[in-house]
Structure 1
Amino acid sequence: MKAASVLVVLLLARVGALYGHRLDWSWWTPIAYLWHDAAVAAAFGLCDRMLVRRPRAMWAIYAVAVAYVAINVPVTRVLSTPMTWPMWQAARGPLVDSIRHYATLSNIAWMMAVVAAGAAAPTVFRGTPASALIASLLLIAAAGPIASAHVATRGLERNAWTALALTAAPRVAPAPVDRNWRAPRGQRRASDDLAWLRGAAAGRHLVLVSLESTAAQYLGIYGMNPDVTPNVSALARDGVVFENAYAVYPESIKGLLSVLCSTYPALGTRAEIYAGAPCESLASALREHGYRTALFHSGRFGYLGMDAVVGNRGFQLLADAGDIGGRRESSFGVDEESTVARILEWIDRVPPDARCFVTYLPIAGHHPYEVPRSAEGLRSAESLALQKSGSASLSGARSASLSGERSRFTTEFDRYLNALRYGDSALGALMAGIRDRGLYDRTAWIVFGDHGEAFGQHEGNYGHTFQVYEENVHVPLIVAVPGRVARRQRSDRVVSSIDIAPTLLDIAGIAAPNSYQGTSAIDDNRRMATFFADYSLRLLGLRDGAMKYIRELDSGRSQLFDLRADPGETRNVADRYPDDVRWYAQKLNEWMK
């Protein structure tokens, strides 16, 4: 009886999860999507038999099972995945505003419907023959792996309980590899010359800015129209724009480890384990050469173990939202104006004959894309540009909603663009403050995106942590040395966030530590960029020239895209290039053993 009741609850949750998704239909499709539900219902039926003499305990277990399934329905509807173990680790106080944002009537109604089904099902199915049902469910579960080999379910076959169980155990760590393993399959020499950058920032102040949740495709210097980040564009005129830069990991904290330590984080691990990990950090290297070092974060170091990544890494000052204070606070942090003001105060205390290294980690751009009320509307010039264009020119994303002379963003993508504009205004304030102090031409900048942000460009792809498509991992990277270049230079080299620390040291004229796993982007040799995701599915990927390869570890499925012909990653050409697929798969196996 309880097996049938659990099955009904899971099937209703399945309807809610799959509603609106495009499914690959074949004779295998029903089994491929339902075998996890069958396995859980069968296990519950067997457990019911074992606890037949303890009915109260079984009813308690049943209530918990139904409640947990109900909680996961809105999560799956929004993120296309049930809660996984890493997601539960991330669901802390700073995400309260994001969670509240999705407490909609529709999502609450789905939760209540699942709870109601769970309450009514035991009465409806009283007396159902358990043995025959359990046997049938076990047959479906046994056929599930075979069906999954024929249908690409993208992880949607998992239910609340199997998603949690499958992600709870430690998984795969990157293997120690030689630096040359990133050598590409094709052309190995860079076609452009960036040698002028080597040592170009020697003796200058250094500023490292990590743009929160910023994919390259949303910035004007990468083709976005209108340009909601004019200050980034202005800064780029004084240096090099890397057109093919990739985040190692589509999440801020472990991604920051790759930047500060030039070290790959491990797949399936928490950031807290890196507190004692060996790391000759960027800040430590600069401090050894006389730089004053500080890191300012508009968010909170307690989020996802960030303190383990930034602590004891050579920064003489670490300041987060709690230290900075601010005119506006959210669950995630404080306003950017307050952080910029604190940065400039610290710069004012640096002795005139000293050099400083500032790391600025804003939060503008993070979901739910909230900004201070004074920054909710577009500037008039941007509003006019939007009205002339009619919409934000982004394929697959929601267009901007315009009303009158003052535009208020109303959809998620609209609000996201406004958050990027707000973050860019904070960068502009920092640039202006440094210019007002007569330091602009004595400062070098590296500005990059910590990861991207997805708005449905690919099926079920929202947010940033779950996939490794371009909108998730292709990020902006600008190296600016004002006064050293007459006009903006663009480079088509493939670079990685793991290369940022050695690149910054290279332009400062400082040798990078031998422990770095990345290499300077200025080097003449071409390289591949590698990246991975593990919040839901275990995905590995790489970019090699024009080719982008993605491998799903659990299913073994491969995707190969020619980004020159297909920048939107809509045509999987893996079947046309089997030799390339085998070579790329072997490279990723060398990385994750």
Structure 2
Amino acid sequence: MVRFLAALLLLAASATHAAERPSVLLILVDDLGWADVGYNGASYYLTPNIDAFAQRATVFNRSYAMPTCSPSRASLFTGLNSPHTGIYHVEAFGGKGSEQDRRIIPVKSKLYYQQPITMLADSLAEAGYATGYVGKWHVTHDPTHNGFTLNAGGWGKGHPPSYFSPYKNPKLVDGPPGEYLPERLMKESIAFIERNKEQPFFLCYAPYSVHRPLQAREADIQRFKERSKEPARYNPTYAAMIAALDDAFGGVLHAVEELGLAENTVIIFTSDNGVNGLSGDSTPLRGHKGTCYEGGVRVPTMVFWPGHSRAERTDALIDIIDWYPTLLDMTGSGKPDHQLDGRSLVPLLNHETDLVRDAIYCHMPCYNGQPQSKQVWQTPYSAITQSRYKLIYSYETHEAQLYDLENDPGESINMATSYPEIARSLKSELEDWLRANQAPLPRSKDTFQ
């Protein structure tokens, strides 16, 4: 009888703990720039649902990701930085450009993460969470190999063949002809939440929006054509895609509230990199996807954690690798076997500290873009960003760029020659980090001549 009562007490304690654990809704959007949302000053783009959420969330002004999709996503779900994932670019074998365009030999990038490892969803599934993935994956061939039970639309491809059904996506059953992908993924997300409302769940809702190709409903495109005052700068189709993303985001949040789950659900909103330079504009920042200028790596990010986070904006530096340890702490889940490179944001969100890291590092030892295209030809580089200064080191020219982000957030004035001591100090810190993480570096062609 004593053993039976003890077992009952243990089951009751476990049930209570499960009830207290929050569910997690991670919204990971694609190619949405920091300046593409109203709460960061956008006026042409319409994001009323995202902006309303920002009013009650902790908004991170200085949230950073990798410059391109798959490296960011691999880092988020493994908790590892790019030297440890081996994924630097969306292209294998050193990125883009022809051999004659490359003055040095770039590092070979992996196309997918291939090592056996406990990813974020594995950890939460082991802790008893129902796990679901809806939308773009671009980390391995299928998220169900990495801890997710449901997969609706996630595979190795980085962009949708079509935003309208038929989707030509082997992981998403086609809807009626002409069905719009943002609406479909919203419905898939809501259905998962409804099925799992009685237990803690982890849903990653990862819209393909607003990755190219630029495709939207004609009525929405026309609406933004009528609003456009600077057609050379603003693309009405891109604006229509952002509006559809916002509508779908609002639909998922409305479902969470209607189901009575809002007070025990952590909601995180972030993007995997900055705006694509062929789609939009990052002003007042500089650069775009593929670059380590602020427009390429600073991303819109906010979190709502009931009972913990506050409605405020913070300039604390955070990295996309920080979400893995953060969610483990939020949910009380066990740590994986591998060492996480990220840092938990829980002390920051609980106002126990105002700083969790003093620097962000970016290692892109590959080429990006095409020399003759509209997109800037980006040669291999590494960068370190601190609260005030950023240093970018080029492996082709062996020259550094230094920017004062406090006084020049648009990175228009290179101060490397004006402040050589600061440049040397940051370069030394960057080199220390590269060595500590055994980061492979590009090589000179002269080595093989």
In structure 2, the partner of 1:346 is 192
Deviates more, 1:424-433 or 1:260-269: 260-269
In structure 2, the partner of 1:436 is 258
CA distance in 1, matches of 2:380, 2:306: 41
| Counterpart AA for 1:335 | L
SS of the aligned residue for 1:424 comes to: helix
- Alpha-carbon RMSD across the aligned residues, in angstroms, is 3.0
CA distance in 2, matches of 1:515, 1:365: 33
| Counterpart AA for 2:203 | V
Decide which of 167, 181, 197 is 1:335's aligned counterpart: 181
The equivalences for 1:91-240 within 5 A come to: 203-226=21-44, 228-240=46-58
In structure 1, the partner of 2:367 is 535
CA shift for structure 1 position 411: 6.1
CA shift for structure 1 position 456: 6.5
CA shift for structure 1 position 232: 1.5
Change (3 A) 1:440 1:326: farther
CA distance in 1, matches of 2:395, 2:420: 18
2:141 is aligned with 1:313: no
| Counterpart AA for 1:451 | N
CA shift for structure 1 position 580: 1.9
CA distance in 1, matches of 2:251, 2:220: 14
Decide which of 362, 386, 392 is 1:550's aligned counterpart: 392
Decide which of 304, 311, 317 is 1:488's aligned counterpart: 311
C-alpha contact (below 8 Å) 1:328/1:335 kept by paired residues = no
CA distance in 2, matches of 1:230, 1:357: 25
CA distance in 2, matches of 1:464, 1:329: 32
CA shift for structure 1 position 378: 4.4
CA distance in 2, matches of 1:271, 1:359: 23
In structure 2, the partner of 1:472 is 296
CA shift for structure 1 position 483: 6.3
Decide which of 186, 200, 214 is 1:355's aligned counterpart: 200
CA distance in 2, matches of 1:242, 1:479: 8
CA shift for structure 1 position 374: 4.7
SS of the aligned residue for 2:140 comes to: helix
In structure 2, the partner of 1:190 is none
CA shift for structure 1 position 281: 1.4
| Counterpart AA for 1:421 | A
CA shift for structure 1 position 491: 1.1
C-alpha contact (below 8 Å) 2:80/2:340 kept by paired residues = yes
CA distance in 2, matches of 1:579, 1:309: 48
Which structure has the larger Rg over C-alpha atoms?
1
2:270 is aligned with 1:448: yes
SS of the aligned residue for 1:517 comes to: coil
The equivalences for 1:76-95 within 5 A come to: none
Q: Which portions of structure 1, spanning 4 or more consecutive aligned residues, are displaced by more than 4 angstroms?
A: 326-330, 455-458, 482-485
| Counterpart AA for 1:500 | W
CA distance in 1, matches of 2:22, 2:46: 29
CA distance in 2, matches of 1:316, 1:292: 7
The equivalences for 1:389-428 within 5 A come to: 391=229, 399=230, 401=231, 413-428=235-250
CA shift for structure 1 position 434: 2.0
2:211 is aligned with 1:366: yes
2:171 is aligned with 1:323: yes
In structure 2, the partner of 1:281 is 119
CA shift for structure 1 position 479: 0.8
Decide which of 241, 250, 257 is 2:74's aligned counterpart: 257
SS of the aligned residue for 2:145 comes to: coil
Change (3 A) 1:374 1:326: farther
Gap runs ≥5 in structure 1: 1-198, 392-398, 402-409
CA shift for structure 1 position 326: 4.6
In structure 2, the partner of 1:68 is none
SS of the aligned residue for 2:421 comes to: helix
SS of the aligned residue for 1:235 comes to: helix
In structure 2, the partner of 1:35 is none
SS of the aligned residue for 1:257 comes to: helix
CA shift for structure 1 position 569: 0.7
1:529-562 deviation line (CA, Å, top 9, x unaligned): 1123323311211210121211111211211111
The equivalences for 1:294-305 within 5 A come to: 294-297=132-135, 299=136
In structure 1, the partner of 2:373 is none
CA distance in 1, matches of 2:176, 2:217: 7
C-alpha contact (below 8 Å) 2:287/2:294 kept by paired residues = no
In structure 2, the partner of 1:586 is 428
SS of the aligned residue for 1:307 comes to: coil
CA shift for structure 1 position 346: 2.1
Compare relative contact order (CA 8 Å, sep 6+) and give the higher one, 1 or 2: 2
C-alpha contact (below 8 Å) 1:325/1:338 kept by paired residues = no
CA shift for structure 1 position 311: 5.1
SS of the aligned residue for 1:556 comes to: coil
CA distance in 2, matches of 1:512, 1:374: 48
Change (3 A) 1:413 1:521: farther
Change (3 A) 1:377 1:437: farther
Change (3 A) 1:328 1:499: farther
In structure 1, the partner of 2:129 is 291
| Counterpart AA for 1:292 | A
CA shift for structure 1 position 341: 0.8
CA shift for structure 1 position 576: 1.9
2:238 is aligned with 1:376: no
CA shift for structure 1 position 225: 2.8
TM-score by length of 2: 0.71
1:443-477 deviation line (CA, Å, top 9, x unaligned): 2111101100135769xx87622x21111111011
CA distance in 2, matches of 1:428, 1:274: 32
CA distance in 1, matches of 2:202, 2:282: 37
CA distance in 1, matches of 2:144, 2:423: 40
SS of the aligned residue for 2:46 comes to: coil
SS of the aligned residue for 2:81 comes to: coil
1:39-62 deviation line (CA, Å, top 9, x unaligned): xxxxxxxxxxxxxxxxxxxxxxxx
C-alpha contact (below 8 Å) 1:213/1:464 kept by paired residues = yes
CA distance in 1, matches of 2:217, 2:234: 16
Change (3 A) 1:543 1:256: same
Change (3 A) 1:212 1:457: closer
CA distance in 2, matches of 1:257, 1:449: 13
CA distance in 2, matches of 1:507, 1:377: 44
C-alpha contact (below 8 Å) 2:380/2:396 kept by paired residues = yes
C-alpha contact (below 8 Å) 1:202/1:509 kept by paired residues = no
In structure 1, the partner of 2:7 is none
SS of the aligned residue for 2:58 comes to: strand
In structure 2, the partner of 1:56 is none
| Counterpart AA for 1:242 | F
CA shift for structure 1 position 251: 1.6
Change (3 A) 1:538 1:362: same
CA distance in 2, matches of 1:221, 1:472: 18
Gap runs ≥5 in structure 2: 1-16, 89-106, 154-168, 348-352, 369-378, 441-449
Percent identity between matched residues is: 24
C-alpha contact (below 8 Å) 1:335/1:372 kept by paired residues = no
Change (3 A) 1:374 1:328: farther
Change (3 A) 1:433 1:376: farther
